Amino acid sequence: MTDVNRSTGLGGGGAPGTAPAGAGPGGGESRGGTGAGDEGPRPAGGGGLKAIATRALEFESNSVLVATIVLVVTVGVLRPEFFTWSQISNMLQQSVYIALLASGMAFLISMREIDLSVGSIFGLTLISASLLMEHGMNAWLAGLLGVLIGAAAGLFNAMLVQVIAIPAIVATLATLAMYRGLTLGLSNGQQVTDLPLQSSFFTWLGGGRYLGLPVSVWIMILSAIILTALLRLTPFGYRIRAIGSNPEAATFSGISIPRVRVQALVLSGLLAGIAGMLGLAFFESGDPNIGTGFELQAIAAAVIGGTPLRGGSATVVGAMFGAILLSVVASGLVFFNVPLNWSAFASGVVILAAVSLDSLLRRRRRARGPGLAL
């Protein structure tokens, strides 16, 4: 399939704890062991290797990965050209922006908050940076300012929540419209096209490749590693999940919920700014309407990926896999020539099927015991 994304835009665990005595390598309870006398090398056998492989694959994000693979294989069997490397690369490229937004959303959902303005922040940062470039600013400096504008928008959201004392979902519903209106006003509703496309900002960040994958996909992978470490290995990540698990207990233990909420909203805005700069580098123009609806896709990707709306746990890797799943759905609909008027309905049906498969796999995994927290 040819690269249509550049011209058409985009398509459509718990708080850390101590393992119980006798816990096995995957964090689950070991079965059958009675004491030190049972320790030692086990006979080499298929059962032992199978158990090790099973535990190694029991990630929180495993079920959405399985759902994505099933969908890719299904489309690929029916449309063999879907398996070309260029098509796979395009799907990954297309998923980067939602993946970054969904990662920030996973942090917020984990503490029972939602940011509805991330799509508008994406568009605002993209237009702001493109206007700065159009007026002669160095492309990389403009890109850095675009990321900082995203963080500032997240901070403004946080200030609204703290000062007016309203839920984040209400505050960001208002800023969704404010940021989108500001984007349209700054650009006069017109695309910004007079950009320095010869700059490495566009040629490397937007068009560069390493090992066959776009630079933006490598940035997504690096972000997954950093954000997973932030969520799992830092006090900030622990506080995020503790608040979502039990806000009263978190407050009683000395955690400042307002401060953590501010940090999470700023992180969400920062990631939206990074996504906006990657989008600008790839599309090579500033479209004031880009990013519309991205907030709902980000929420869907995070939830599909395994971050429950009840809070208390999150998975960055799962959120990114959820975004990839949405990208596969959008690309698959193109391959099957689904009419535009029916594409939204078909996309919803496929997503519902993927979520159902994800839920089934999670129930089976919970029955066997917890897996690795990724």
Provide mean pLDDT across the span 331-335. Answer: 82
pLDDT of residue 146: 94
Averaged pLDDT, 226-231: 93
Judged by DSSP in three states, 248 sits in helix
Residues 214-226 pLDDT 10s: 999 999 999 999 9
The tens digit of pLDDT for each residue in 153-196 reads 999 999 999 888 888 899 999 999 999 999 999 988 888 888 88
Among 16-30, 119-133, 223-237, which is the least confidently predicted range? 16-30
Q: Any idea where the domains of the chain sit in the sequence? A: 63-368
Q: What gap in Å lies between CA 151 and CA 159, rounded to an integer?
A: 12
| Whole-number percent of the chain with pLDDT over 90 | 36
What would the 3-class secondary structure string for 132-192 be?
HHHCCCCHHHHHHHHHHHHHHHHHHHHHHHHHHCCCHHHHHHHHHHHHHHHHHHHHCCCCE
How far is residue 211's CA from residue 227's CA, in Å, rounded to a whole number? 23
CATH no., domain 63-368: 1.10.3470
Chain mean pLDDT for the chain = 80
Share of the chain above pLDDT 70, in %: 78
Per-residue pLDDT averaged across 345-349, rounded? Answer: 76
Altogether, the residues listed in the chain come to a count of 374
Mean pLDDT of 344-350: 75
**pLDDT score at 38:** 43
Return the pLDDT at 336: 81
Per-residue pLDDT reduced to its tens digit, 44-98: 444 454 554 444 444 555 667 777 788 888 888 888 888 888 888 888 988 999 9
Of residues 330, 266, 341, the one with CA closest to residue 294:
330
DSSP sequence for 334-357: HHTT--HHHHHHHHHHHHHHHHHH
289-312 tens-digit pLDDT: 988 889 988 998 888 888 888 888
Predicted confidence (pLDDT) at residue 348 exceeds the cutoff of 70: yes
Statement: residue 101 has pLDDT above 50: yes
What residues contact 191, with CB distance under 8 A and at least 6 apart?
285, 286, 287, 288
Q: Could you tell me the two tokens for 315?
A: 């998975």
- According to the model, what pLDDT value does residue 41 have? 44
